[in-house]
């Protein structure tokens, strides 16, 4: 029999164990249940100024897995997402990675921040070289810097979304012919620098008639008042602001422009993500555009009722748009690879993913290129308008496709020189 003091000690130990489990991003549960699911770790900002993006993506994964698991999951098991908060800091992501490998989780996803993505590429590669019996596969779902599947490519990383250069090609092709002066404003870190470089490259290649009247890198996630940037844009005479800013850095920029009455186009890379439509509201009519993986009106435009029903399933319970079709493609391809090799072994799964071909939610072909582990996929260049069936974020305006850049159009050369594992 355990005495009162012993009972208290057991309670304290139990509480301590529960706190440790919670701090690692998992709920304490019986060990016997460990093999019932296929765990996929998810590292992204779940606190701090960019937490809204991480929280949104976590909800998206929950919705996607309802479909993927209902379709059979993989090996007859369901997928389970295990979240870890990196606060959008590379050091925090590497701490999370250590916790993930300690738990023998074979796959890790990360969808926000190329600075974090670069750290994970290196961290996963080093871990796998040192621990061949406890390898992990990095599923890149949103670290977009072109470099990550070019000079910084790695066998253990697979990017399931288009890189910056692919987006830049679509972005510049979509600019209206009347645009002759542009202002470039981007975040001063790896992703923003990649957007700046590739935007200039594709402007020179496709639109040499356009003059760059401003080119600026701004502190990432730190600016509260964008009025000084708006003043410089106004003084430049720009007709369009081309920006890779996202989340708070884009939403505050657009809000400042609207408050000031600045009458320019915003030709963006990521305005369709959470908060962008709300920030510009009715002022975005005809002068906000984005390069998008998917938007609610794509199924209507392409007459794809099954895809429309899937999107409506999301809209029924959320006020945001579902644009993350690549996340669905990623889980479907992962399930296919696991089933093909009959294992969750990261090396076997990686080899099965190489050169895998599939179709996305609306039936367009996608391809995971073996050479650099970069997916080839279509992009939609779209503008913000009232003339659509489905609006965004209850604004009364939504996205309408201007043109589609196919996966073939966006299969671009790579500088990747990948080192492959011997076994």
pLDDT of residue 18: 39
What percent of the chain is predicted at pLDDT more than 70? 92
Chosen domain end from 110, 132, 162: 162
Segments in 237-379 forming alpha helices (H):
248-260, 276-280, 298-302, 305-315, 325-341, 346-353
64 & 182 share domain: no
Helix (H, G, I), strand (E, B) or coil at 261: coil
Is residue 320 domain-resident?
A: no
* pLDDT exceeds 50 at position 20: no
CB 232 within 8 A of CB 253: no
- How confident is the prediction for the chain on average, in pLDDT? 91
* Token pair listed for 268: 């963006």
139 & 252 share domain: no
Helix (H, G, I), strand (E, B) or coil at 80: strand
Cα–Cα nearest to 316, from 65, 63, 68, 61: 63
Is residue 142 domain-resident?
A: yes
DSSP 420: P
Tens of pLDDT along 148-191? Answer: 999 999 999 999 999 999 999 999 999 999 999 999 999 999 99
Chosen domain end from 292, 313, 343: 292
* pLDDT exceeds 50 at position 21: no
Number of Cβ atoms within 10 Å of the Cβ of 335: 20
Is residue 312 domain-resident?
A: no
124 & 248 share domain: no
139 & 43 share domain: yes
pLDDT of residue 30: 35
Which domain, by its residues, includes 213?
Answer: 165-292
**Radius of gyration of the chain from its Cα atoms, rounded to whole angstroms:** 22
Which is higher by pLDDT, 275 or 95?
95
* pLDDT exceeds 60 at position 77: yes
Tens of pLDDT along 275-287? Answer: 889 988 888 888 8
Tens of pLDDT along 24-51? Answer: 443 333 333 347 999 999 999 999 999 9
62 & 195 share domain: no
* pLDDT exceeds 80 at position 8: no
Is residue 385 domain-resident?
A: no
Sequence-distant (6+) residues with CB within 8 A of 302 are: 362
Is residue 360 domain-resident?
A: no
Sequence-distant (6+) residues with CB within 8 A of 250 are: 243, 268, 270, 271, 275, 276, 279
Sheet holding 137-140, edge to edge: 78-85, 37-44, 107-110, 137-140, 157-159
Separation of CA 186 from chain center: 17
Mean pLDDT value across residues 294-306 = 98
Q: In whole angstroms, give the CA distance from residue 326 to residue 159.
A: 10
* Complete DSSP assignment for 151-217: TT--TTEEE-S--HHHHHHHHHHTS-TT--EEEEEEESSHHHHHHHHHHHHHHHHH-TT-EEEEEEE
33 & 155 share domain: yes
141 & 195 share domain: no
Is residue 334 domain-resident?
A: no
Residues paired with residue 39 on neighbouring β-strands, in sequence order: 80
207 & 156 share domain: no
Chosen domain end from 162, 178, 201: 162
The number of helix segments (H) and strand segments (E) in the chain equals 13, 15
pLDDT of residue 226: 97
pLDDT of residue 347: 98
23 & 148 share domain: yes
33 & 136 share domain: yes
Is residue 97 domain-resident?
A: yes
Tens of pLDDT along 318-355? Answer: 999 999 999 999 999 999 999 999 999 999 999 999 99
Name the domain count of the chain. Answer: 2
Indicate which CATH number applies to the domain containing 119.
Answer: 3.40.50.2300
Is residue 368 domain-resident?
A: no
Sequence-distant (6+) residues with CB within 8 A of 413 are: none
What percent of the chain is predicted at pLDDT more than 90? 86
pLDDT of residue 247: 86
Helix (H) or strand (E) holding 138: strand 137-140
* pLDDT exceeds 90 at position 423: no
Tens of pLDDT along 358-405? Answer: 999 999 999 999 999 999 999 999 999 999 999 999 999 999 999 999
69 & 122 share domain: yes
Q: In whole angstroms, give the CA distance from residue 360 to residue 404.
A: 14
* pLDDT exceeds 90 at position 261: yes
CB 318 within 8 A of CB 393: no
177 & 141 share domain: no
């Amino acid at each position: 029999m355990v005495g009162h003091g012993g009972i208290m000690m057991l309670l304290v130990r139990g509480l301590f164990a529960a706190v440790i489990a919670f701090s690692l991003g998992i709920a304490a549960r019986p060990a016997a249940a460990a093999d019932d699911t296929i765990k996929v770790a998810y590292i992204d900002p779940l606190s701090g100024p960019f937490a809204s993006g991480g929280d949104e993506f976590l909800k998206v994964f929950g919705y996607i897995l309802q479909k993927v698991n209902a379709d059979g999951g993989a090996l007859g098991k369901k997928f389970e997402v295990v979240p870890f908060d990196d606060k959008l800091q590379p050091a925090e992501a590497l701490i999370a990675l250590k916790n993930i490998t300690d738990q023998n989780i074979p796959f890790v996803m990360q969808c926000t921040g190329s600075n974090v993505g670069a750290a994970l590429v290196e961290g996963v590669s080093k871990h796998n070289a040192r621990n061949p019996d406890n390898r992990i596969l990095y599923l890149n779902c949103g670290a977009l810097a072109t470099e990550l599947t070019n000079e910084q490519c790695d066998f253990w990383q697979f990017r399931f979304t288009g890189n910056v250069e692919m987006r830049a090609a679509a972005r510049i092709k979509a600019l209206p012919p009347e645009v002759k002066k542009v202002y470039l404003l981007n975040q001063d870190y790896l992703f923003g620098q990649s957007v700046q470089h590739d935007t200039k490259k594709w402007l020179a290649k496709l639109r040499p008639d356009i003059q760059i009247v401003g080119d600026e890198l701004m502190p990432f996630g730190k600016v509260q008042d964008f009025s000084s940037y708006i003043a410089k844009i106004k003084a430049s005479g720009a007709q369009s602001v081309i920006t890779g800013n996202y989340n708070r850095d884009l939403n505050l920029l657009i809000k400042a422009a609207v408050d000031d009455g600045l009458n320019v186009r915003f030709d963006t890379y990521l305005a369709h993500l959470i908060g962008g439509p709300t920030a510009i509201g009715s002022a975005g009519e005809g002068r906000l555009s984005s390069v998008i993986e998917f938007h609610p009106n794509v199924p209507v435009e392409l007459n794809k009722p099954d895809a429309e029903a899937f999107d409506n399933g999301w809209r029924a319970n959320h006020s945001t748009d579902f644009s993350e079709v690549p996340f669905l493609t990623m889980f479907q391809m992962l399930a296919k690879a696991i089933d093909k090799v009959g294992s969750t072994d990261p090396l076997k799964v990686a080899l099965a993913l190489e050169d895998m071909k599939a179709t996305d939610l609306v039936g367009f072909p996608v391809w995971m290129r073996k050479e650099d582990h970069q997916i080839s996929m279509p992009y939609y260049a779209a503008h913000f308008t009232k003339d659509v069936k489905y609006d965004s974020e209850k604004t009364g305006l939504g996205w309408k496709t201007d043109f589609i850049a196919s996966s073939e159009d966006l299969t671009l050369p790579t500088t990747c020189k990948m080192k492959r594992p011997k076994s």
